[in-house]
Amino acid sequence: MKIDKLCGERFKERPSDCVIDSHALMVRGGYMKNVANGIYSSYMPLRRITRKIENIIREEMDKIDGQEVQFPVVMPASLWSESGRYESIGSEMARFTDRNGSPMVLGMTHEEAAVQLVREYANSYTKYPFMIYQIQTKFRDEGRPRAGLIRVREFTMKDAYSFHTSQEDLERYYDICYDAYNRIFARCGVPEVITVKSDSGMMGGSVSHEYMLLTPIGEDSIAICKECDYRANMEAAESIIENSISGETQPLQEVYTPGIHTIEDICSFLNTPLEESCKAVVYQKNMTDEIVVIFIRGDLDVNETKLTNHLGEAVHPAAITEESGLFPGFIGPVGMDREKFTVLFDSSLKNTHNLSCGANKPEYHYKGLCISRDVGDVEYIDLAKIKEGGICPKCGRHSISISRGIEVGNIFQLGTKYTKSMSMQYLDSEGNLQYPIMGCYGIGVGRLAASVCEAHHDDYGPIWPMAIAPWQVELCCLRSDDAECKATADRLYDEFNAENVEVLYDDRNIRPGAMFSDADLIGCPVRVVVSPRNLKEGVCEVVTRDKEISEKITSDGVIEFVQKIIADRLKANK
């Protein structure tokens, strides 16, 4: 490919709407173009990258006996009603009515389609286990698409679904898939991707893992233990608080606290630490607007995912009205109407006394709260966000650190959620009807491409790993008006092509600076520079984009030298 006809503009200025580097570089480098909010077209360099990623994924899925299939983008709403998700998923799902008046949806994931495809076929235990996968376009109407290819509305995803006759068999295959995922990320040049335990959210399963690329610009927060191998998504991480009662238990005492509304203010007014307070956080259930009051230790925050999972439905921060009988800023557990509201107590309040809290009347707080004495028997549940420096749920040390990461893949043990709701059954060896157990396994192709860029770039552009680089080599002819220079570069171009080395050839009559800027933005791992000055010595320059190699090679030896770099790097997943 010659660069002079390569579609896409390359430019120097960072676009003002690009918050993260990978987005800025992929716009500046002519990889992608915005079509609508969160919807992009890909130019050739990006399409070559995503095709290579797709092929790596395909090879690894085939290796673990995956059967490539294809589900449709457009599905009838009735299929999603079978699983209940047509109703339970909100505005993230794009819906339309077809010309015959049938409600249709755009696929954001394909559990329903997977079950629909195999439920008649897989009617006997002898047909299990099996795994089907596809690489297909999906649409999720995100409220806030952002960060370029990291969070988009339309994306290409590899989604795989496995079917099993026992939990043990699912776990066996889950482990195989776990390893295949590690190979995929390693081969794509990001072996630094880690796995974390995650909440399975709307997928409805139990055990699940996310594959995370740690980066400060990541959208997910991950709790990582510095002492053991514990790693979990913040949403799923158990919060462990060890309280021990010390000192004398005080009586409950009302305090006049005019104008004091926050837990921080009351603690500073009383001159007590935040840990000795009981904070109220108020939500409303999305469906009914019913009020949910959570009491939690003053220094902690509510983990909304845990709350949603506990309630079994989604919530939003409450809009507290006068009629509710609640006084914002003064809400406390004593005398709280537990018939009228859903009232929950976080585990962080267990084994405490002498807390400050709201007194459920304007301008008053309590001090000396002891929940067992003043409220009675309550159930404590884990609703808190894990904290930096918190206790590791696995090794028990105060060794939790919070990092940020991009989720580049996930694997779920789904159980029988979809097979039960969609009536997929098989006859076991004893002739009894059973529901198969499912696993599902996803990787976002475009997001992975952007994540690799995020992990491997400098100020001038991406530094693509060999296995997914748009081209393996960029050949720069610095003086196409110099006959010998041009002839040598042309010859190398032909030879690279003859050897099936993927080469992008820049023989434009432009300044070297402009040529190198473009080459940096396209980020081919190897650059071969042909210039009159070097040709006087009979050599060409071969440099790698990551600056590890920079050598002058006699022009006859260039092809072989470059082929060795390519082979070495492919082998090293680099």
Instruction: Decide whether 1 or 228 has the Cβ nearer to a second copy.
Output: 1
Give yes or no for residue 80 binding a second copy (CB under 8 A).
Answer: no
Instruction: Decide whether 91 or 244 has the Cβ nearer to a second copy.
Output: 91
**DSSP H helical segments within 109-228, as ranges?**
111-118, 167-187
Instruction: Decide whether 173 or 341 has the Cβ nearer to a second copy.
Output: 173
Instruction: Decide whether 106 or 203 has the Cβ nearer to a second copy.
Output: 106
Name the minimum Å distance from CB 53 to a second copy: 13
Give yes or no for residue 54 binding a second copy (CB under 8 A).
Answer: no
Q: Are 374 and 251 a contacting pair, CB within 8 Å?
A: no
Name the minimum Å distance from CB 21 to a second copy: 22
The residues facing 161 across adjacent strands are 132, 440
Name the minimum Å distance from CB 310 to a second copy: 27
In the list 14, 18, 59, 69, the residue contacting a second copy (rule: CB under 8 A) is 69
- Whose structure tokens read 């999906």? 138
Q: State the Cα–Cα distance between residues 267 and 399, nearest whole angstrom.
A: 27
CB atoms within 10 A of CB 339: 6
User: Burial of 20 by CB count in 10 Å (0-12 exposed, 13-18 middle, 19+ buried)?
Assistant: buried
Give yes or no for residue 55 binding a second copy (CB under 8 A).
Answer: no
With CB under 8 A as the contact rule, which of the stretches 73-81, 382-390, 407-415, 552-560 interacts with a second copy? 73-81
Give yes or no for residue 500 binding a second copy (CB under 8 A).
Answer: no
Q: What is each CA distance from 501 to 472, 495, 505, 526, in whole angstroms?
A: 7, 9, 12, 11
Give yes or no for residue 9 binding a second copy (CB under 8 A).
Answer: yes
Binding map of a second copy across residues 371-390, x = CB under 8 A, - = no contact: --------------------
Name the minimum Å distance from CB 145 to a second copy: 11
With CB under 8 A as the contact rule, which of the stretches 74-82, 175-183, 262-270, 486-494 interacts with a second copy? 74-82
In the list 15, 17, 19, 72, the residue contacting a second copy (rule: CB under 8 A) is 72
Tokens for 58, please give them: 């395909």
Name the minimum Å distance from CB 509 to a second copy: 11
Instruction: Decide whether 141 or 301 has the Cβ nearer to a second copy.
Output: 141
- For a second copy, how many residues bind (rule: CB under 8 A)? 66
Give yes or no for residue 550 binding a second copy (CB under 8 A).
Answer: no
Q: Tell me the chain's radius of gyration from C-alpha atoms.
A: 29
- Whose structure tokens read 């206790």? 391
Site for a second copy in 86-105 (CB under 8 A): 91-92, 94-96, 98-100, 102, 104
Site for a second copy in 112-171 (CB under 8 A): 113, 116-118, 120-122, 126-127, 130, 132, 134, 136-137, 139, 141, 143, 153-154, 156
Give yes or no for residue 402 binding a second copy (CB under 8 A).
Answer: no
Instruction: Decide whether 44 or 320 has the Cβ nearer to a second copy.
Output: 44
Instruction: Decide whether 3 or 307 has the Cβ nearer to a second copy.
Output: 3
Instruction: Decide whether 2 or 340 has the Cβ nearer to a second copy.
Output: 2
Question: Residue 418 in 3-state DSSP?
Answer: helix
Q: How far apart are the first and last CA of the chain?
A: 23
Question: Residue 186 in 3-state DSSP?
Answer: helix
Give yes or no for residue 11 binding a second copy (CB under 8 A).
Answer: no
In the list 15, 17, 63, 67, the residue contacting a second copy (rule: CB under 8 A) is 67
Q: Are 220 and 202 a contacting pair, CB within 8 Å?
A: no
Q: Strands 231-233 and 220-225: what pairing? A: antiparallel
Name the minimum Å distance from CB 168 to a second copy: 18
CB atoms within 10 A of CB 421: 18
Tokens for 331, please give them: 């809400």
Instruction: Decide whether 84 or 103 has the Cβ nearer to a second copy.
Output: 103
Give yes or no for residue 229 binding a second copy (CB under 8 A).
Answer: no
The residues facing 411 across adjacent strands are 209, 441
Give yes or no for residue 426 binding a second copy (CB under 8 A).
Answer: no
How many Cα atoms within 13 Å fall on the side-chain side of residue 95?
16
Q: State the Cα–Cα distance between residues 234 and 205, nearest whole angstrom.
A: 18
- DSSP per-residue string spanning 79-104: HHHHHTHHHHS-TTS-EEE-TTS-EE
Name the minimum Å distance from CB 309 to a second copy: 24
Instruction: Decide whether 33 or 183 has the Cβ nearer to a second copy.
Output: 33
User: Burial of 349 by CB count in 10 Å (0-12 exposed, 13-18 middle, 19+ buried)?
Assistant: buried
Q: State the Cα–Cα distance between residues 494 and 205, nearest whole angstrom.
A: 54
Return the HEC string of 210-238: EEEEECCCCCEEEEEECCCCCEEECCCCC
Report residue 91: phi and psi, to 5°.
Answer: -75, 0
Q: State the Cα–Cα distance between residues 478 and 507, nearest whole angstrom.
A: 7
Site for a second copy, rule CB under 8 A? 1, 4-9, 30, 33, 35-37, 39-44, 46-48, 50-51, 65, 67-76, 79, 91-92, 94-96, 98-100, 102, 104, 106, 113, 116-118, 120-122, 126-127, 130, 132, 134, 136-137, 139, 141, 143, 153-154, 156
